[in-house]
């Protein structure tokens, strides 16, 4: 029973297209995140939502728009895809408290051609 699941696992698309990645967690956590792992392997926070409210919005182009219909779901929509958007995108969740640890999904490999 997957704790944090994201779909699709692979996404290959053309420049200029719009695509979405979905994420769901069944851990009952209050906070969800989107991370981007670039070619240099760094994991960088993009967005964080707490109980459907946006609380972290790092320097991300506004072509990226997260949407949280409820606290168990956080989707990522990307408009007008560019070559530089190619990366692995990870969804994660955590429960607020001392020593928060992140629970990650298995990632979505996005390739923009």
Partner 1 sequence: DQQVKQNSPSLSVQEGRISILNCDYTNSMFDYFLWYKKYPAEGPTFLISISSIKDKNEDGRFTVFLNKSAKHLSLHIVPSQPGDSAVYFCAAATSGTNAGKSTFGDGTTLTVKP
Q: Which residues bind partner 1 (CB under 8 A)?
A: 4, 9, 31, 33, 40-45, 48, 50, 55-56, 90, 92, 94, 96, 98-107
Cα 86 to Cα 59, 76, 104, distances in angstroms = 17, 14, 19
- In the complex, what is the shortest distance from the CB of residue 88 to partner 1, in angstroms, rounded to a whole number? 9
Residue number with CB closer to partner 1 (33 or 112): 33
- Least distance to partner 1, CB of residue 35, Å: 8
């Amino acid at each position: 029973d997957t704790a944090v699941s994201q779909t699709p696992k692979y996404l290959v698309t053309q420049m200029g297209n719009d695509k979405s990645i979905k994420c769901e967690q069944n851990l009952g956590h209050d906070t969800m995140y989107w991370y981007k792992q670039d070619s240099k392997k760094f994991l960088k926070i993009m967005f964080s939502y707490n109980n459907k409210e946006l609380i972290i919005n790092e320097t991300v182009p506004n072509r990226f728009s997260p949407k949280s219909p409820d606290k168990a779901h956080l989707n990522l929509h990307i408009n007008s895809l560019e070559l530089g958007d190619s990366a692995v995108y990870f969804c994660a969740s955590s429960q607020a408290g001392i020593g928060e640890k992140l629970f990650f999904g298995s990632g979505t490999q996005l390739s923009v051609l």
